[in-house]
Structure formats: structure tokens, C-alpha cells
Amino acid sequence: MKELQAYQPSDAELEILQVLWERGALSVREVHEALSQEKSVGYTTTLKQMQRMLDKGVLARTEEGKVHYYRAVVKEKPVKRSLVRRLMDTAFGGSAVGMALHLLGEEQPSAEELKDLEKLIEQMKKEQND
């Protein structure tokens, strides 16, 4: 399980994980239907990908009658943290501020997002002064 904490899924694996994190345990058919709403993907492709993820220990499977239900074993937050850390290290030289400035320069944040950023900055300033 420890090696899964820093697990970095492929794009296809991440799409499957995202569906399972959002909706909980699902059958292959249900995952396939969710993925098909965004793009064309074959059922057997989804099935094989989920079987590989099961073999890696990324997914767990339970059986109810003739239907197999899959759930994510890896937790969303650590996986996303690992992916962001890798992007930050490779594209921004490890600079969280550089990455944040780049992202904010590309897209106009909403008023609510700006308030959240202001709160975060104030909290960080307070922690530095303590």
C-alpha cells in the first residue's frame, strides 16, 4: 500500500479513478458509460484498463451476483498531490509560487476564488509571523 501513496496514474487510469472517486463503487459498464459521456471509448478498453488497475492494487473488486463492482483503493488527495508535485517539479523547477502565478496568469479567477486566495495568503502571513 505504501508504494500506492505516490501512485501516478496514466491519463486513462486517472479518468477511471475520477469517476470512482466521485460516484463510489461501480460496475465496468457504469464506468464505461460515464467515460463515454466525455469521449468515445470502447467497453473492452475500459474493462482491460480496470483489470490492469485491479492487478496493480489500485482498484478493489467485489462481486454481487453476476456483477463485479470496482472501487478505488488509492485516495484522491494523495494521488492528486503527487501529480501536482511532479508537474511543479518538472515544469516550474519546484516553485509552487511560479506554478500558481502561471496558472493565475492564464485564467481569470472568480471573485470567490480571489477571496479564497486572499484568505490563504493572510493565513500564511500570520503563520510566518507566529
Taken in order 62, 81, 83, 112, the sign of the CA dihedral is positive
Nearest to 47 by CA among 27, 23, 22: 27
What are the pLDDT digits (tens) for 69-120?
999 999 999 999 999 999 999 999 999 888 888 888 888 888 998 899 899 9
Give the whole-angstrom CA distance, residue 129 versus residue 104: 26
The reported pLDDT for the residue numbered 123 is 92
Contact 53, 38 (CB under 8 A): no
What are the pLDDT digits (tens) for 28-68?
999 999 999 999 999 999 999 999 999 999 999 999 999 99
0.85 surpassed by pTM: no
Confidence of residue 2 (pLDDT cuts 50, 70, 90): very low
